Amino acid sequence: MIALICVVVAAFLAFDVLLVRQIAHGNDGVRLPAMAPAYAPLATSVPTLSNGSPAPWGQPGSDPTQMAVTAGWVSTVAARTGIPPRALSAYADAQLVTVETTPDCHLTWTMLAGIGAVESGHGTFGGSTLRPDGTTTSRILGPPLDGSHGTRAVPATVAGKAFDGDPRWDHAIGPMQFIPSTWMHWGMSADGREPNPNDIDDAALTAARYLCAAGGDLITPDGWRAAIGAYNAPIAYAIKVTDLANKYARESLTP
């Protein structure tokens, strides 16, 4: 009986480790049939527009360094949550844009912040920082997608080579860690220029679009789980992102 219990415990631990290892830096990891537990987003501080009108995202000639969200909101919530202000403004701006373009999605900046924290530490992975225009000071690349660590192998694509310089394997790219093929399909620009995965504004807006398409209504538990599952499949990933999102939500409302 003791031996049987040990075998069961060992199997459980091995499965748990496998889930953790399946957290790839990108969107095309191994898909699991279910996401649990059933999380839903908490109430959070709502960002406000600096000029009282929709942000000029995607308009040629718009200034990429201009925050659509009020600077006071960013300053206050960044101090409460510890999220770098430049990253927070990108997440909040993406929410404001989504409210205008896809109101039924109910995307919140906390979901983007949870993902951004896990994927790149809000654009700080490897010593990188975010410039005032939102671009990273150095490229943020995930490990080669060579089939190890529970992810499927993704041989180098033309787009991938241009982004990561690896002639053999693609890598997830940028502060929100998109696989090149996913970026080429979903990539959006925040300033009307060429979509840039190494720009936190473009990456956050693209992530918002991707999450809404995958989850539908993200205020529902099913929509929330489906969106995170499409971004990265393992249960451990979903739990980590959701715990961070809810942590940021609570902190944003705490003076």
Residue pLDDT, tens place only, 142-196? 877 777 776 677 777 767 777 777 777 877 889 999 988 889 889 998 888 889 9
- Residue 42: per-residue pLDDT: 66
196 three-state secondary structure: coil
In angstroms, the CA 170 to CA 154 distance is 6
Read off the pLDDT band of 104 (50, 70, 90). very high
Q: Is the pLDDT of residue 12 over 60?
A: no
- Residue 43: per-residue pLDDT: 64
Hey, which residues does 171 pair with through a beta bridge?
A: none
Q: Higher model confidence: residue 151 or residue 231?
A: 231
Specify the DSSP element, H or E, that contains 224.
Answer: helix 221-231
Average pLDDT over residues 197-216: 95
The token pair at 214 is: 């995958």
Q: Cα dihedral sign for 218, 219, 225, 228?
A: positive
- Residue 51: per-residue pLDDT: 58
Read off the pLDDT band of 36 (50, 70, 90). very low
Read off the pLDDT band of 136 (50, 70, 90). very high
Specify the DSSP element, H or E, that contains 250.
Answer: helix 235-252
